[in-house]
Each structure stands twice: as C-alpha cells, then as structure tokens.
Amino acid sequence: MRRSRLLLTVLGFLLPVVGGCAVSDLTQVKTMDQGSPAPDLVLQSLDGPQVSLSQYKGSVVLINFWATWCPPCKEEIPTLEAAYRAHKDRGFVILGVDVGEPGSVVRNFVKEMGISYVVLLDEQERMLVRYGGVGLPMSVLVDRDGIIRERHIGVISEAELQKYLDKHLPDRQAGTP
C-alpha cells in the first residue's frame, strides 16, 4: 500500500513533465482496466441538468477529463472538437469533464474555445478519482455496451484519436453496429 501511494505521488509529479497536469488527490486512485464496465458517471452539466454516462448507452463515448488551467488540456481541445463534429452523426459522443473548477470559470472557457460537445463539472474531483485519474488530460473511450476500450493519459493527438475511432466506431453503412 505504501509503495503504491509513493508511485502515484511520483506519477503525479512526473506527468506534467511528460505532457499532462497533476491532480491534487492521488491517495484513492484506482486503475480502470480496459475491458471492464465503465462506472456510471453522473455529473451536473454546464447547461444545468445532470448527465449520466448510462444515458448514452448505444453510443461510443469519449470521456475527457480536463481543466482550464491545464495547458495540455487546452492544446487537445481543437482535436476533440473536430473529431466530435466529424463523427457525432455516427454515434460518437464526447463528455468533457472539467475537474475541480466552478461553472462560472468553465463557462467562459468553453465559449472562448468554441466547445460544442457536452461539458460536465467534477468540482470535487470524485469522477476523476473513480476513473483512476492521475493527471490531466485523461481520456477514456467507452464502447456502445458501456465497456472501457481505451484509456489515454496526456494529450491525445489527432492520429491517436482517429485510430481509436477507426477501431471502435465502425461505419454503420457497412452493416456493423
């Protein structure tokens, strides 16, 4: 137990150096394995109503944890926005989960960045911890059946995101679900 806490603390300090931003509470982080069911994420949306991951069953969902103060998070937003606009008609959803900030700060940032996908508020960082987050940005790709298929820590490039989408968002025209 002591060794794992030390490792998580070290990761929390190293992650910003290799392309991410550290989070504040690493003591309760659990690893979410690929192939396991995604925990239901239930958070307040920036627009008001609560949103849950379960309401998107049947869609491929990218849960992207980020914060306005995190430069790598800001760097990847145009890539996420472009992918969302290109694939939303094929059942692709992005849930952008802002970590640790009030809605007033996030609202201005979302407008400035032109984000059109759903933005949720994780002010207490509970969902980040529940999803095993050790830094920001972090993305988790959940398939149509609610299973975690990919987990990406750090900035996700356009090529990496496209690889994930090619693998998990088959073309509906080709007769695949």
Sign of CA dihedral 59, 72, 66, 140: positive
Contacts of 74 (CB under 8 A, 6+ apart): 68, 113
As a whole number of angstroms, the distance between CA 17 and CA 19 comes to: 6
Residue 118 pLDDT greater than 80, yes or no: yes
**Of the candidates 80, 62, 84, the residue with the CA atom closest to the CA atom of residue 72:** 80
CATH number of 2-174: 3.40.30.10
As a whole number of angstroms, the distance between CA 125 and CA 43 comes to: 11
Confidence of residue 18 (pLDDT cuts 50, 70, 90): very low
Reading the block at residue 82, the tokens are 């472009």
pLDDT of residue 130: 92
Query: Helices (DSSP H) in the chain: which residue ranges?
Result: 2-14, 71-87, 103-113, 126-130, 158-168
Residue 4 pLDDT greater than 60, yes or no: no
As a whole number of angstroms, the distance between CA 142 and CA 63 comes to: 8
Is the pTM for the entire model greater than 0.85?
no
DSSP of 4-35, one letter per residue? HHHHHHHHHHHTTTTT-EE-S--TT--PPPTT
pLDDT in tens, 27-84: 343 455 778 899 999 999 998 899 999 999 999 999 999 999 999 999 999 999 999 9
Confidence of residue 149 (pLDDT cuts 50, 70, 90): very high
